[in-house]
Amino acid sequence: MAHRNLYQFHRANPDGWFEESINWNDDARAVHFTLEQKDDGEWKYEIGVATLRRDKIDLMIRRQGIAERFKYKRKPIPEPPNRYHGNLLMKSDIPNQLKESIRNHLAWISKIHFRHEYSDKTVEKTIVSYILRRLSSIISRLLSALRQFKVN
Amino acid sequence: MNDSRDVTTGSSGEIRSFSLGGGSSPIRKVKAIIPQVENKTVVEQIEKFLLAIDTEIDNRPDLRNTPALIPHIEENGAVSIDWTFPDFRIGVNLEVNPADSGWHLLSNEKLGEFTASKQLKNMDQTVSFFIEYITKNT
């Protein structure tokens, strides 16, 4: 179960918003890309990553009544290239108790992807995909051979 | 962490009056971290919270089998305590400035994605509300 410490909101930008970096889960590669991110040769997220559904964030915004105080945006960065990058934004003058409530809420709706679990799944998918490709190739050749047999 | 040790030392005198000495109490992990909490105001809030929970559990033996309350000491000296059930989570954050302390209750789709959070003003009343919610939804 995720803990609110996943979401610090420590760093305020000049416009008066706390920023929390995220990657948008735009395609099947996004989680893998995030897990592969490194800082000085070390995994940036050693244990794993969390995913948040946008509809759950939108519901949180409605339920907490924080439409003016919480938002998200896309912000791709060129170097190192990260087209998935974006931010969760929270007003920096938000009352502390509300800030903690939002952090707790984000933790509650987070789904954790542990690195080891993800790696195992990736390997499994790769093996299954390879087997299916081989089977497909064998069936094609068999069908082709049958057609040849009929013609002859 | 050794859950079975009896943590009754240090400045947490009131803790000694708790009847829960066994290793299966849901509050044992919170009791165990008290000696590590540096801020006295936070310790006082934890003790008040535990006393309120303990009082409720004393009256409701069935609650002894609920999941353990999980404490976490924050970098700023605050302590958060989460009580996570299959379909909902209750939590309190006990801050160095008690006016910033709060509680939250969040549920999943099964229980209507309920969301509530407030400043922690009246500990007994808040804990009673928690217990009522737990009783109805577990």
Alpha helices in chain A (DSSP H): 30-36, 54-64, 96-108, 115-151
Residue A138 buriedness (CB in 10 A; 0-12 / 13-18 / 19+): exposed
Q: What is the mean pLDDT of residues B113-138?
A: 92
* A contacts of B102 (beta carbons < 8 Å): 97, 100-101
For B114, nearest residue in chain A (alpha carbons): A63
Q: Band of the pLDDT at B2, cuts 50, 70, 90?
A: very low
Question: Which residues of chain A are under the pLDDT cut of 70?
Answer: 119-127
Tokens 């044992």 locate to: B28
Question: Is the model's pLDDT at B113 over the cut of 80?
Answer: yes
Q: Report the pLDDT value the prediction gives residue B25, as an integer from 0 to 100.
A: 83
Q: Across chain B, what does the average pLDDT equal?
A: 84
| CB within 8 Å: A63 and B113 | yes
Tokens 């309350």 locate to: B69
Tokens 């400045």 locate to: B11
Q: Which of A4, A63, A96 sits opposite B115 (nearest CB)?
A: A63
| A45-A47-A51 Cα angle (round to 5) | 70
Greater confidence (B6 vs A124) lies with A124
Distance CA A7, CA A90 (A): 11
Q: Report the pLDDT value the prediction gives residue B106, as an integer from 0 to 100.
A: 95
For A5, nearest residue in chain B (alpha carbons): B74
Tokens 């920023």 locate to: A19
Is A25 in contact with A72 (CB distance < 8 Å)? no
CA A58 to chain centre: 17
Please report the number of interchain residue pairs, chain A to chain B, with beta-carbon separation below 8 angstroms.
47
Contacts of B100 (CB under 8 A, 6+ apart): A96, A97, A100
DSSP result, B53-105 = HHHHHHH-GGGGGSPPPEEEE-TTS-EEEEEE-SSEEEEEEE-SSGGG-EEEE
Q: Which of A5, A96, A104 sits opposite B100 (nearest CB)?
A: A96
| B104-B106-A11 Cα angle (round to 5) | 65
**Which two three-digit tokens encode residue A126?**
């790769």
* A contacts of B113 (beta carbons < 8 Å): 59, 63
Q: Report the pLDDT value the prediction gives residue B3, as an integer from 0 to 100.
A: 41
Residue type, B50: L
**In this complex, is the C-beta atom of A3 within 8 Å of any C-beta atom belonging to chain B?**
yes
Is A49 in contact with A110 (CB distance < 8 Å)? no
Cα separation values, B135 from A14, B63, B73, Å: 47, 8, 28
Q: Across chain A, what does the average pLDDT equal?
A: 89
Distance CA A98, CA A94 (A): 7
- Residue A42: CB atoms within 10 Å: 7
Cα separation values, A60 from A3, A21, A103, B24, Å: 16, 18, 11, 35
Looking at the DSSP bridge assignments, the partners of residue A89 are: A19, A71
Least confident of A11-25, B51-65, B87-101: B51-65
Interface test with A, best of B69, B83, B104, B105 (most A CBs within 10 A): B104
The per-residue pLDDT for range A113-148, each reduced to its tens digit, is 888 887 656 656 656 777 888 888 889 888 888 888
Is B94 in contact with A100 (CB distance < 8 Å)? no
Question: Is the model's pLDDT at B9 over the cut of 60?
Answer: no
